[in-house]
Amino acid sequence: MRIGIVCYPTFGGSGVVATELGKALADQGHEIHFITYDQPARLGSFHANVFYHEVRVSDYPLFDYPPYELVLASKMVEVVRQHGLDLIHAHYAIPHASAAYTARAILREEGLRVPYITTLHGTDITLLGRDPSFKPVISFAINQSDAVTAVSNSLKEDTEALFEVKRDIDVIHNFFCPSHFAIPVKEDLRASLAPEGEPIITHISNFRPLKRVPDVVRAFAAVRAERPAKLLFIGDGPERHAAETLCEELGVQRDTYFLGKVKNPIEALLISDLFMLPSESESFGLSALEAMAAGVPVVASNAGGISEVVEDGVAGMLCPVGDVAALAAACLDILGSPARLEQFSLQALDSANRFHIQRILPQYERVYARALAARNS
């Protein structure tokens, strides 16, 4: 198939999933055309069957707000015409699904029937979806899609609760690609971060308030009061400064590292012993899955779709949102002995396999085939 993938090119979960899906589809022989405003962060260098089309909005003095959605729709039309795309896969409802709707309508005028599939990722529903200024457009773009997928059952339920959804939503969980984890472990980095062999607890996020980064710091301080450990933060965002200040206030700054945005977070996971994700809301928790796939058990909140990913007591432990004492107790429990940590590590690896790319990819291919069949009927 010739597939156009529209996504955010950033390190955010939706962009990562869209890019990795495109690469995996390309490996299966599909021709993939990414349509977005920058080279997707996870695209890397040359990949067979993969093309990238940049969307650029001209800077007219008349525009207070750049009309990205219109230029994106025009670019989709252009790429479909030039490359004979069979379908468009829009990741994230705003503005990708609504732009895909416009593109589909324009192409239909020319006798080209190109379905669009919308994948909902979470914040497009749970944050933007609550904003009345977006709601009618999100509803419309979902209902007009030729197929809609959500990355968890939890997100499907949230979508149905928040919008008047008139069509079926297929749940297709996010995935991991094992080949990304088959890289050398940076033992020198581990030794420099934890010179006495202390366990490393890692948190990766965009440091937005819903990630509850202060809970990570507080739980770590409670762990550190009981035993040696190091805390590693990867990523950046609005709460980073407050987290750094809190580390000083709680006296754990010497055991804490803020590495900022790193190109390949998997390298950090491969030297970690435990992963912490205490989010207030999370449709899936891709970073938790990546931790599991690196053999790192997860201590997380039980928000949203996290419990579909992290099997409580198997791949890690789940705690109520905001329960810092429970987070700390769970960390201490898993780190209790080398044998217990090893057991959780193996279980996490095993549990991650439910989301192996080879299990998930055919589910997307089936949705594509169904949308194409409906188009031709």
From the CB of 284, what's the least distance to ligand GMT, in Å? Answer: 4
From the CB of 123, what's the least distance to ligand GMT, in Å? Answer: 4
C-beta atoms surrounding 107 within 10 Å: 18
Q: Does 14 bind ligand GMT (CB under 6 A)?
A: yes
From the CB of 172, what's the least distance to ligand GMT, in Å? Answer: 10
Is the backbone peptide bond immediately before 184 cis, with ω within 30 degrees of 0? no
The contact mask relative to ligand GMT for 318-357 (x = CB under 6 A, - = no) is ----------------------------------------
Q: Does 206 bind ligand GMT (CB under 6 A)?
A: yes
**Whose Cβ is closer to ligand GMT: residue 77's or residue 151's?**
151
From the CB of 319, what's the least distance to ligand GMT, in Å? Answer: 17
In whole angstroms, what is the distance from residue 43 CA to residue 34 CA? Answer: 10
Q: Does 12 bind ligand GMT (CB under 6 A)?
A: yes
In whole angstroms, what is the distance from residue 253 CA to residue 216 CA? Answer: 13
8 A C-beta contact, residue 204 and residue 234: yes
**Whole-number CA gyration radius for the chain:** 21
Q: Does 159 bind ligand GMT (CB under 6 A)?
A: no
From the CB of 188, what's the least distance to ligand GMT, in Å? Answer: 30
**Whose Cβ is closer to ligand GMT: residue 123's or residue 307's?**
123
Instruction: Tell me which amino acid residue 87 is.
Output: L
**Binder of ligand GMT out of 208, 261, 356, 370 (CB under 6 A):** 208
**Binder of ligand GMT out of 284, 344, 364, 368 (CB under 6 A):** 284
**Whose Cβ is closer to ligand GMT: residue 206's or residue 272's?**
206
CB proximity list for 130: less than 8 A, separation 6 or greater: 162
From the CB of 156, what's the least distance to ligand GMT, in Å? Answer: 13
**Binder of ligand GMT out of 174, 256, 307, 345 (CB under 6 A):** 174
Q: Does 151 bind ligand GMT (CB under 6 A)?
A: yes
Number of residues forming the site for ligand GMT (CB under 6 A): 19
Long-range CB contacts (within 8 A, 24+) of 327-330? 327/215, 327/216, 327/219, 327/276, 327/278, 327/299, 328/218, 328/219, 328/220, 328/222, 328/223, 330/299
**Binder of ligand GMT out of 9, 13, 265, 297 (CB under 6 A):** 13
8 A C-beta contact, residue 94 and residue 142: no
From the CB of 153, what's the least distance to ligand GMT, in Å? Answer: 13
The token pair that represents 93 in the structure block: 């409802």
In whole angstroms, what is the distance from residue 77 CA to residue 81 CA? Answer: 6
From the CB of 313, what's the least distance to ligand GMT, in Å? Answer: 21
**Binder of ligand GMT out of 256, 281, 347, 351 (CB under 6 A):** 281
Long-range CB contacts (within 8 A, 24+) of 330-335? 330/299, 331/201, 331/219, 331/220, 331/223, 331/229, 331/274, 331/276, 331/299, 332/223, 332/226, 332/227, 334/274, 334/297, 334/299, 335/199, 335/223, 335/227, 335/229, 335/273, 335/274
From 13-21, 78-86, 141-149, 252-260, give the range in contact with ligand GMT by CB under 6 A.
13-21
**Binder of ligand GMT out of 7, 222, 286, 348 (CB under 6 A):** 286
Query: Which among 187, 319, 196, 314 is positioned nearest to 255, based on CA atoms?
Result: 196
Q: Does 240 bind ligand GMT (CB under 6 A)?
A: no
Q: Which residues bind ligand GMT (CB under 6 A)?
A: 12-14, 17, 121-123, 126, 151, 174, 206, 208, 210, 281-286
